[in-house]
Amino acid sequence: MTTAYVIVTVVGAFMAAFSAASIFFRAKWVVQPLADYGVPRGWWTPLGVAKAAGALGLIAGLWVPALGVAAGIGLVLYFTGAVITVLRAHWPSHVAFPLMYMAPVAASLVLGFAA
């Protein structure tokens, strides 16, 4: 396990946890776009739980690699779904946001397999 892998994984986990907390606390700058994209309010908490679980899984993956891989794949799929949701809502200028959260998670997967 390299230092770069650990740093990128921790950053990805922190960003996913921050994103989850933003939904849990109903930060206006997060939930207003969700409403604008047509994401049903009833989905918000489960989406936050998915991100929080992914963040915990990335951290656990530092000790149990299979958990980290599963969490990383799950988060990449989650943020891919977010990109699709943003594009379907015709807000292409917002695509950078889910990609920004996906980048360190994807990098963590790449670095984990490269090690």
Query: Mean pLDDT throughout 85-103?
Result: 96
Tokens 């292409």 correspond to 92
Query: Mean pLDDT throughout 79-85?
Result: 97
Q: What is the pTM of this model?
A: 0.93
Q: What is the pLDDT of residue 71?
A: 97
- Rounded CA-CA distance 24/114 in Å is 34
Residues 45-62: tens digit of each pLDDT: 999 999 999 999 999 999
- Rounded CA-CA distance 86/68 in Å is 27
List for the chain the helix, strand, coil content (%; round to 5).
Answer: 85, 0, 15
Nearest to 2 by CA among 113, 102, 105: 113
